[in-house]
Amino acid sequence: MDIVLQQLVNGLTLGSVYGLIAIGYTMVYGIIGMINFAHGDVYMVSSYLTAIAIALLTFFGMESFPIIIFGTLIFTIVVTGAYGWVIERVAYRPLRNSSRLSVLISAIGMSLILQNYVQISQGARQQGVPTLLTGAIRFDVGDGFVQITYMKLFILFAAFLGMGVLTYVIQKTKLGRMCRATQQDRKMASILGINTDRIISSVFVIGAAMAALAGVLITLDYGAFDFYVGFIIGIKAFTAAVLGGIGSLPGAMLGGVILGLSEALFAGLISSDYKDVFSFSLLVIILIFRPSGLLGKPEVEKV
Amino acid sequence: MSKAVVKKTLISLAVASAAAVAQADVVIGVAGPHTGAYAAFGEQLWRGAEKAAMDINAKGGINGEMIKLVKADDACEPKQAVSIANRLVDSDEAVAVVGHFCSSSSIPASSIYEEAGVLMVTPASTNPTLTDRGLPNVFRVCGRDDQQGDVAASYIVGDLGAKKVAIIHDKDTYGKGLADAMKATMNAYGLEEVLYEGLTRGEKDFNALVTKIRSVDADVVYFGGLHSEAGPLVRQMREQGLTAKFISGDGIVSDEFVSVAGSPEYVDGVLMTFGADPTSYPAGKEVVEQFRSEGIEPEGYVMYSYTAMQVVASALEANDLDPVKASDWLHGNKVDTVMGTKQFDDKGDLMVSDYVMYEWDANGKYSMMDN
């Protein structure tokens, strides 16, 4: 019993982070119909920015956890958002009216550029950040116990807060309304006076900001990263986005949580050798029965 | 003269001059993961080899020819290892290679060196398959995983008296090979493992696996793999309140293990098997001091790499720079190195291996355990 509960906690924290990154994939797909393969590397860049922010803040003598964490979050989200904006501007906007394939190739190129740029500028070695928040709470369950570090609780709290804020922005604000309008019909939206280029830019910034939030949380929790961390987690988050229905915001979050939980439960109860096989089989099965994902809407051919 | 003829003449001139340049030096490749997650080990290999080459060149080179080192980056990926091995053989015209690091890279690359008649001495690849295939050109100056697994297993069963052992590996040639070697010896002692699982290289989240280890109530966790996964694994074990002893092999011998684990407190008490302190040999005292005076700690494989370069140089020197004859020669002759006198058996393994247990302390340093 305690083991299953612990696995649920493991899966939920992992899944909430997958969900955060999946948001970037799903929003970009929703609005311009492309898969941003550089998104995993945007996440990777945010890991490095986290380490830089922590180093800067401790250099200026700020030691308390709340100050460091908020300083790091603000710095990383702003700078990573800027990366998202620049990437869209440089690699995708010039190709706005060309075929989907060329944008895809451009995205893969961007991914390689980011990886190599970080590798050359920061070195190829594994990097680490010091542990900021230590300690854990422990519940006794039956004969065993469930132990959750404060960092994990913080991840859950911050991830769901981030998703909540984003949902509010998309559903209730003017910017969100413009995003949704652009997603539904870009041409009509621009006729009605929405600057769709700017909306697309802001979607990239929002996606990058969510990846940055995930980057800060994961980096603080695991403490280690290198220039290649974006690859695996990017693939997983992309899977989560497809699982939940690519283009759908709640779908990305749901897909992330389902993927995290299924990985943790399968690894914990059956075999960690084959957990990825299981996750991807799950994806295949869901796509067979619901080709547009769990919460995705079937694409209507526009006439 | 037609254009094509001019072109051909130019090309042959260019080739001739390139060959002339290459003949002036002895080209030796240093192959390993110079980039990527395991770049720390590539750096160790390069430092040792570079220093050895400089020292040999300062004493007049090999039969008067200067050693020219070529860095070859395999990123610890088998595919890339094959392509850089081809590059070393074809375009760099290397006569010998010090490397590779990862066994999964060394094994496919060694076939290419064999075909080309290039001498290969690895400072670090410990998987038994590498030499068991009987290639005449392959040597290693480190031990084998079956020897290493023996030492770990007898320590776990004998000294620790463990009852419940969980074995984790990284599904790679080296990691799984080591874990299997340890498992075989441990089973021969009559102890069955309570858990045998693989994890995925490159991931950082092993919480689900850690919870599973907790569920089988293991008192020892044996890990076959490298520090970049061992660090997060041991940290997440401690974070989940699992106090089981963590034991691994020579894949975690790097200061980076501490930074990847997050802080020295997590590596405190971690055990590993590694060759007897490579800096402790009397023959290598001077070199160790020179390293330290340059601000470099000869940790991990630095001295092994130095040794490998010495083996290559001695063999080439005794055989007029012919790598094929040098390979034959190494099977029957002893070589004096900074890690003592080395002698190879028919397969290219060392006659004597010297694995011992090391322990990491709360300051993030490792030292030999007193036995």
- Token digits of residue B155: 């320590």
B264-307 tens-digit pLDDT: 989 999 999 998 888 888 889 999 999 999 988 898 899 999 99
How does B279-296 read in b/e, with b if 16+ C-beta sit within 10 Å? bebeebeebbeebeeeee
pLDDT reported for residue B3:
54
Of the two residues A298 and B7, the one the predictor is more confident about is A298
Q: For B259, which of A126, A144, A218 is closest by C-beta distance?
A: A126
Q: For B208, which of A124, A126, A268 is closest by C-beta distance?
A: A268
| A window 154-213, beta carbon within 8 A of B | none
Beta-carbon neighbour count of residue A280 at 10 Å? 14
Q: Is the pLDDT of residue B151 over 90?
A: yes
Low-confidence spans in chain A with pLDDT less than 50: none
Omega cis (within 30) before B100: yes
d(CA B166, CA B206): 14
Q: For A272, which of B197, B241, B259 is closest by C-beta distance?
A: B197
Residue ranges covered by each domain of chain B: 3-142+280-342, 146-276+355-368
Looking at the complex, does the CB of residue A141 fall below 8 Å from at least one CB of chain B?
no
pLDDT reported for residue A136:
86
Q: For B263, which of A127, A130, A264 is closest by C-beta distance?
A: A130
Find chain A residues with C-beta within 8 A of B259's C-beta. 126-128, 224
pLDDT reported for residue B16:
45
Count chain A–chain B contacts defined by CB atoms under 8 A. Answer: 113
The topology (CATH level 3) of B146-276+355-368 is Rossmann fold (3.40.50)
The CA-based angle A78-A84-A90, given to 5 degrees, is 135
Find chain A residues with C-beta within 8 A of B34's C-beta. 124
Q: Give the pairing type, strands B220-224 and B245-248.
A: parallel
Residue to test with chain B: of A9, A10, A54, A146, most B Cβ within 10 A: A10
Residue B125, min C-alpha distance to chain A (Å) = 20
| CATH class of domain segment(s) B3-142+280-342 | alpha beta
Q: For B239, which of A3, A136, A145 is closest by C-beta distance?
A: A136
CA nearest neighbour of A84 among A169, A203, A179, A248: A203
The answer to whether the Cβ–Cβ distance between B231 and A224 falls below 8 Å is yes
Instruction: For residue A234, give the chain B residue with the closest CA.
Output: B203
Binning pLDDT at 50, 70 and 90, where does residue B183 land?
A: very high
B249-263 tens-digit pLDDT: 999 998 889 988 988
pLDDT reported for residue B202:
84
pLDDT reported for residue B19:
44
Residue A167, min C-alpha distance to chain B (Å) = 27
At position A215, the amino acid (one-letter code) is G
